[in-house]
Amino acid sequence: MRNSEMALGADQAQWLKQYYFMRAACSAAWVVAAFALAPSSMAIAAALLVAYPTWDAAANYLDALWSGGLNRNRTQGLNVLVSLATTIAVILALQVSMNWVLGIFGAWAILSGLLQLGTALRRWKRFGAQWAMVLSGGQSALAGGFFIYQAAMPAVPSIANVAGYAAVGAIYFLVSAVWLTVGTWRRSAAL
């Protein structure tokens, strides 16, 4: 491997570490807002439910750009489109019922989870910590199926249903970020 390729790989690994920390922090902040603010205001709950897939679209777009562009990162490009479509669907579903919103989140969790899984598998050989992203993508797809099941029940769901899912996602991003950080420390210590 040439020095320029090694430097590019190190830059991308550094980006990925920062990206995972950023995703963990933003997800944790969203979860705190969902539990602390949303129960007292339907408007805040609605804004948070719209913001979640919007943020995911922006984060995937940013990661794809920093990781070689959308053409080299098609799973993330598709994830951007799926998340934007989900944002629109959530806005419309909020006019109908929370059951519809949860059903939309379920479909989104399945699709975005599978796309995240694809991205992690593509990155597996180049970067560490992808096992957590593989687990996260797979678990997201399973959670999506459970959301769809819950949405079909007569009980009216709340933002708390989605907040638990987001909290687990935050943990996976944090684990990946810490795993990459520890890997960097180990490689530095070995030199």
Q: 2 falls in which pLDDT band (50, 70, 90)?
A: low
Predicted local distance difference test score (pLDDT) of residue 13: 83
Summarised one tens digit per residue, pLDDT across range 13-27 is 889 999 999 999 999
Neighbours of 155 (CB within 10 A): 9
Summarised one tens digit per residue, pLDDT across range 123-141 is 988 877 789 999 999 999 9
C-alpha to C-alpha distance for 162 and 104, rounded to whole angstroms? 11
Q: Is the pLDDT of residue 34 over 50?
A: yes
CA neighbor of 118 nearest in space, from 134, 139, 136: 134
C-alpha to C-alpha distance for 90 and 178, rounded to whole angstroms? 33
**DSSP-derived secondary structure letter, 2:** -
Percentage above 90 pLDDT, the chain: 80
The three-state (H, E, C) secondary structure of 7-58, written as one string: HHHHHHHHHHHHHHHHHHHHHHHHHHHHHHCHHHCHHHHHHHHHHHHHHHHH
Predicted local distance difference test score (pLDDT) of residue 7: 46
Predicted local distance difference test score (pLDDT) of residue 122: 92
In degrees, rounded to 5, the angle at the alpha carbon of residue 161 between the alpha carbons of residues 160 and 162 is 90
Predicted local distance difference test score (pLDDT) of residue 4: 42
